Amino acid sequence: MSESDGNKLSKTSLIGLVIGSMIGGGAFNIISDMGNQAGGLAIIIGWIITAIGMISLAFVFQNLTNERQDLDGGIYSYAQAGFGDFIGFSSAWGYWFAAFLGNVAYATLLMSAVGNFFPIFKGGNTLPSIIVASILLWGVHYLILKGVETAAFINSIVTVAKLIPILLVIVCMIGAFNFETFKAGLYGMTSGDTGIFSWGDTLGQVKSTMLVTVWVFTGIEGAVVFSSRAKSKKDVGTATVIGLISVLVIYFLMTVLAQGVIQQNHISELSNPSMAAVLEHIVGHWGSVLVNIGLIISVLGAWLGWTLLAGELPFVVAKDGLFPKWFAKENKNKAPVNSLLITNILVQIFLISMLFTESAYQFAFSLASSAILIPYMFSAFYQVKYTYLTKERATTKQWVIGIISSVYAIWLVYAAGIDYLLLTMLLYIPGLFVYQTVQKNNRKPLSKVDYIFFVLITILAIIGIFRLITGAVNVF
């Protein structure tokens, strides 16, 4: 793609994409999501483990963008380069579904947040909610058609705006922090009594915190997906690391400081979003109003960021010949016009379906829940493979980040739920037909390995359906 540097993404825009994609609505409820079952010690340990795993993964993205500057598709292209066309296609297919279904969640969450001020939108799935959400959906669509760079610049502004109430809450919690309150809940509290330390209980609390952290860092790949549009490939890796560490520090401070403001066994009683309840506890009602406004801005920004990601990935994959060529069309502003159109039509269909039933969306989102983590896993695996293939010049750091991120990525997929992973295979069934058609058009016959994967995915999907029918797993 021949674009002038003026039309490419700066390091600041890339950092904005990473932070904006990671900080969505969940950030405003993370205090209660992590603190309702865990004391301060378990939260600190949980963040340390998460930091080791996620920083290793960020360094993987940084290393691969520097070492393989010929790969423009980021997490999808790492899977393809390391393990072949089918694994690359499957990673992109699952990621795309997870991204656009996540946008349905952002649309309803946004309207639910607006419902805090205007009851007509309460719940996020009323007729007025769907109408306004649809208008916003196509407004975002039009904005991106004006150029990805323009939308990314606006995303950076929105990211700064959403950080203002978050940083204010952190500053207020520092001022209101009471060490005795923190100390009382350090090991967790039962029946209002100060907890007593035990490794078994602490490890159980750590696990509960890490099940939350599985999802709070999705979006770390924001800059990597747009690597082909970056002014410098080195900026992609730098933006990923800076974005991750910034969000990690914010989340760590919010969840740990809250333990010194609200007694640990009362955190579960906080209303949603819990960040608003904490600030209201410190400064009064205006704090809750401010945070709820921040929530609206945050969700709107995350929705913009994820629409950019969901529209960009099929476009990049189509350019590489693994999605139908129709997806590779750009408009005069270099925006992925067809990819974005089909993505937002699918979002619109699910939005309309929620007027009648939430079951279809809940089921589809359950299918996609693990799909977004699988590309992380193959990126980590490719780091190990690439380090092995270039072992003559490989560094110890490259081996370490590859191995740690691989172990952590496997844990992420496991923690998301094996039953959901089985159901995710249903998502890939229609993808099998798309892949077969694309390879036929590319005059590439399916390999024996492809057929083995076809059979394996079908078997796992059948097992998932069986467990769903028998009630072993419930997604509704």
Q: How confident is the model at residue 2 (pLDDT cuts 50, 70, 90)?
A: very low
Q: Does residue 115 lie in a domain region? A: no
Q: Does residue 50 lie in a domain region? A: yes
Mean pLDDT of 265-280: 86
Mean pLDDT of 223-234: 81
Mean pLDDT of the chain: 87
Q: Which domain holds residue 29?
A: 9-38
pLDDT tens-digit map of 245-272 = 999 999 999 999 999 999 888 888 888 7
Query: Are 402 and 60 contacting, i.e. CB atoms less than 8 angstroms apart?
Result: yes
CA distance 66 to 296: 36
Number of domains in the chain: 2
Q: Does residue 20 lie in a domain region? A: yes
Query: Are 351 and 134 contacting, i.e. CB atoms less than 8 angstroms apart?
Result: yes
CA distance 362 to 364: 6
pLDDT tens-digit map of 378-414 = 999 999 999 999 989 989 999 999 999 999 989 888 8
Contacts for 31 with CB less than 8 Å, ≥ 6 apart: 254, 255, 258, 267, 270, 274, 275, 278
Q: Does residue 46 lie in a domain region? A: yes
Q: Does residue 101 lie in a domain region? A: no
User: Side chain identity at 329, as an amino acid letter?
Assistant: K
Q: Does residue 17 lie in a domain region? A: yes
Q: How many residues does the chain have?
A: 476
Q: Does residue 61 lie in a domain region? A: yes
* pTM as predicted: 0.85
Query: Are 229 and 11 contacting, i.e. CB atoms less than 8 angstroms apart?
Result: no
What helix, strand, coil percent values describe the chain, rounded to 5? 75, 0, 20
Q: Does residue 353 lie in a domain region? A: no
Q: How confident is the model at residue 103 (pLDDT cuts 50, 70, 90)?
A: confident
pLDDT tens-digit map of 294-313 = 889 888 888 888 898 889 88
